[in-house]
Structure 1
Amino acid sequence: MKRIISSTLTLAALILLPVASILAQHPYLLIGTYTNNGMSKGIHVYSFDSNTGKMKPVSQVKTTNPSYLAVAADQQHVYAVNENDGPGDVSSFKFDSTSGELSLIAEVPSGGEYPCYVSISKNGKFIAVANYGTGNAVVYPITADGDIDIPVQEVHHEGTGPNKARQEKAHAHAAVFSPDGNYLMINDLGIDKIMVYKFNSETGALSLGNPAFVPVKPGSGPRHLTFDASGNYAYLITELTGEVIVYNFANGWFHTVQSISTHPKNYKGAIGSADIHISPDGKFLYASNRGDANSLAIFKRNRHNGKLKLVGFQSTLGVMPRNFNFDPSGNFLLVANQASNNVVVFKVNKKKGLLTPTGDSITVGSPVCIQWIK
């Protein structure tokens, strides 16, 4: 009897291995969009070939203005903010890896206006939502089946900045958990601060860190934040001044290491920097520029001290690049160009960090977020 069971398990392993290999080479690409221009109905799902960089449409799910997405560690649940006019929502979806289809589980109020960011705690028990319009952030418990429970914590920011057009009040723009799961950082574009909160991973409760915030240069507009794989370095992109600020990070403390522009020295056009990511191998950092630039700035990382050195710039071959992301293999980088309604594929030179257009792109209405299911 034991021999039969052993043989069965071995056979199952042989069958599963090729399937896993196929899935690794053909991850699912998820694209969040704005739906108010009538060209998109919600979240679009594509099959992506990590060998060739080509995409094939699989499915789409109808939901209003899913402008930012987060994929759970189990790869079976997806969360989206619904950045509606006025009060917004946050939604959860179940993902079927066989059909490539998303199905709605829950849609609940975001607790504020114009929610623009959602992230998942390290232990997978909570999501945090940043509401841009009302300058607040809300923490929700999530169940094992992906449902969104009653909020357990809400924090509000107050203040203004020197840019009267953009900083007339607080504008929470991102909610980012620290790699160790012990802190939640809320980047507030309106008050030029990274608010630092201690996070209780069992209850979802937030309490002000010590210090309670990181001051950022007045008028800079902190937007997105990312950490390197070690968790020792954090990188902040400022929307209004187009800079990357490098920090040494430890136990809720941020120590400034460097500030470097995401534009050429003599650049005179409008600035509107957006997103920031580190390559999967940790060697390079990329930042997207909207405004008049429509480019990606490329930096080489010194992994010993976190500092950046400019490598060059790459046109995004579109208008108003928002979010961008690497495919799971790290071979390709995809850019969502909101105003030109296209997602463009670039081949990554892993030695030099440079990007080469593959010639492949897809037309999607107002694409603004790119995520992956492996």
Structure 2
Amino acid sequence: MKRQRYIAYVGTYTNGDSKGIQVYELDTSRQGFIKLSETPVNNPSALTVAHNGKYLYSIADEGVAAFRIMPDGLLEHINTAPTGGMRGCALCMDANDRYVFVGGYHDGRVSMLRVNKDGSIGDITDGIFHKGLGVSITEKNFQPHVTDVCMTPDDKYLCAVDQGLDQVVIYEVDYEHGKIKKHDIIRLQIDAAPRKMVFGKDGIHAYVLCESKVAINIYKYNTDMDEAELQDSVSTIYQDPDRCAPYGLDITEDGKYLFVSNAGTNTAAIFKVKKDGDISEICQSKISGEFPKVIKVLPDSDYFVTLNHEQDEIVTFKMNYAKGYFLQKGRPVKVEKPNCIYIHRLQ
């Protein structure tokens, strides 16, 4: 049986020696990272791969950069296109790879860009600036700041997480005309500061990571994304909540476990997803690093990594779900200012 190969694309800030996207082969037998190459991109802060597995897209200072994924996993630049706004911080694609959607932290803009048949980024088909002011009881900047974008499981709607307005704005997507239209708004608690959002595998639950509230909000929704109901809100930390800022969020492929990284306290928390969509904590522990900006579950779900931004490293951990603990696996991989990662299975 042919061994499945995985490539890890790691985006890094480029104000130092790093040039952009670090390309690694993921050694699944040892859960190690073997560096293959480095691809120049100006400050890649978010990465995604087309569902057809042929192209990778990255946020860049200039907009969105498109790359062809070669048979060995290396990247070949196709083009870079502007988004119509300031520098983005999040991106996603629809299931049929027709469009790239970009979220802008600095200007609160959601942009929709066409993807051409050759994988290149085409024209901007739509763009909406979020407007208004949030209500802040802390020193958080409460102007519009889109920190995440993701598609609903049925691909009908785009969800734009706005940290400044304490909202998740739901847009209906018109694929034929390349337009997005506001459909509904999920209004979170005052000063919740939502940062990330993922959907459960049951198709009816969504999990929103709230930085200032230091919690995961669990929403139950219907297929029309109308009146999403707050089912529960679960803390991501059991001590020092004033020092904690949850940053990273990921879910296993089978949807059974939810992973969170907490900056400030420098911990990782793992939760079990119950049949009713609620979550219960399995374990929480220090990750022996500074500012775990990203947490990512590896393909077999028994291992995960944290990208420790201030310590310039990626650390791998082995998870023991039955006994409720995780342990570091091997030595950290030194990477300058890592801030995003995408694990891609070679075809």
Q: TM-score scaled by structure 2?
A: 0.94
Task: State the AA in 2 paired with 1:143.
Answer: N
Query: 1:118 pairs with 64, 85, 91, which one?
Result: 91
CA contact (8 A) 1:33 1:368 kept: yes
CA contact (8 A) 1:325 1:334 kept: yes
Task: State the AA in 2 paired with 1:118.
Answer: L
Q: Which residue of 2 aligns with 1:31?
A: 10
Q: C-alpha distance in 2, partners of 1:368/1:67?
A: 6
Residue identity over aligned pairs, in percent, reads: 26
CA contact (8 A) 2:138 2:191 kept: no
Q: SS in structure 2 opposite 1:115? A: coil
Q: Which residue of 2 aligns with 1:281?
A: 254
CA contact (8 A) 1:123 1:181 kept: no
Q: C-alpha distance in 2, partners of 1:307/1:35?
A: 40
Q: C-alpha distance in 2, partners of 1:64/1:127?
A: 19
Q: C-alpha distance in 1, partners of 2:125/2:324?
A: 42
Larger Rg: 1
Residues 227-256 of structure 1, C-alpha deviations (whole Å, 9 max, x = no match): 112221100001222110011121213111
Query: 2:319 pairs with 336, 348, 373, which one?
Result: 348
**Further displaced range: 267-276 or 146-155:** 267-276
**Residue 54 of structure 1: CA displacement?**
1.4
Flag the 1:352–1:148 CA change in 2: closer, same or farther, 3 A. farther
Flag the 1:360–1:201 CA change in 2: closer, same or farther, 3 A. farther
Residues 74-104 of structure 1, C-alpha deviations (whole Å, 9 max, x = no match): 222111112x4xxx51111111122x31111
Task: State the AA in 1 paired with 2:114.
Answer: P
Q: Which residue of 2 aligns with 1:74?
A: 52
Task: State the AA in 1 paired with 2:217.
Answer: I
Matching of residues 220-299 of structure 1 within 5 Å? 220-250=192-222, 251-253=224-226, 254-264=228-238, 266-290=239-263, 292-299=264-271
Task: State the AA in 2 paired with 1:361.
Answer: P
Q: TM-score scaled by structure 1?
A: 0.88
Q: Which residue of 2 aligns with 1:337?
A: 308
**Structure 1 unpaired stretches of 5+:** 1-17
1:306 aligns with 2:277: yes
1:54 aligns with 2:5: no
Flag the 1:199–1:268 CA change in 2: closer, same or farther, 3 A. closer
**Residue 56 of structure 1: CA displacement?**
0.7
Q: SS in structure 2 opposite 1:170? A: coil
CA contact (8 A) 1:50 1:327 kept: no
**Structure 2 unpaired stretches of 5+:** none
Q: Which residue of 1 aligns with 2:143?
A: 169
**Residue 188 of structure 1: CA displacement?**
0.3
Residues 323-361 of structure 1, C-alpha deviations (whole Å, 9 max, x = no match): 221222223211111111000011122445632211232
Task: State the AA in 1 paired with 2:192.
Answer: S
Flag the 1:49–1:353 CA change in 2: closer, same or farther, 3 A. farther
Task: State the AA in 2 paired with 1:262.
Answer: T
**Residue 273 of structure 1: CA displacement?**
1.3
Task: State the AA in 1 paired with 2:52.
Answer: D
Flag the 1:67–1:255 CA change in 2: closer, same or farther, 3 A. same
Residues 209-239 of structure 1, C-alpha deviations (whole Å, 9 max, x = no match): 1xx2010011111111001122211000012
Q: C-alpha distance in 1, partners of 2:137/2:109?
A: 20
Matching of residues 149-168 of structure 1 within 5 Å? 149-161=122-134, 162-163=136-137, 165-168=139-142
1:317 aligns with 2:295: no
Q: C-alpha distance in 2, partners of 1:243/1:31?
A: 27
Q: C-alpha distance in 1, partners of 2:97/2:271?
A: 32
Q: C-alpha distance in 1, partners of 2:195/2:225?
A: 18
1:105 aligns with 2:84: no
Q: C-alpha distance in 2, partners of 1:165/1:113?
A: 23
Q: C-alpha distance in 2, partners of 1:360/1:213?
A: 44
Q: SS in structure 2 opposite 1:111? A: coil
Residues 282-339 of structure 1, C-alpha deviations (whole Å, 9 max, x = no match): 221111111x21111111110x210011222122221111122122222321111111
Residues 248-279 of structure 1, C-alpha deviations (whole Å, 9 max, x = no match): 12121311111011111x42542321121112
Q: SS in structure 2 opposite 1:339? A: helix
Q: Which residue of 2 aligns with 1:178?
A: 152
Task: State the AA in 1 paired with 2:99.
Answer: F
Q: C-alpha distance in 1, partners of 2:318/2:240?
A: 26
Q: C-alpha distance in 1, partners of 2:58/2:139?
A: 28
Q: C-alpha distance in 1, partners of 2:87/2:288?
A: 28
Residues 124-164 of structure 1, C-alpha deviations (whole Å, 9 max, x = no match): 10110001000011001101221111111111111222156
Q: SS in structure 2 opposite 1:197? A: strand
Q: Which residue of 2 aligns with 1:359?
A: 330
Flag the 1:127–1:352 CA change in 2: closer, same or farther, 3 A. farther
Task: State the AA in 2 paired with 1:150.
Answer: D
CA contact (8 A) 1:137 1:172 kept: yes
Q: C-alpha distance in 2, partners of 1:163/1:255?
A: 24
Q: Which residue of 2 aligns with 1:217?
A: 189
**Residue 33 of structure 1: CA displacement?**
1.2
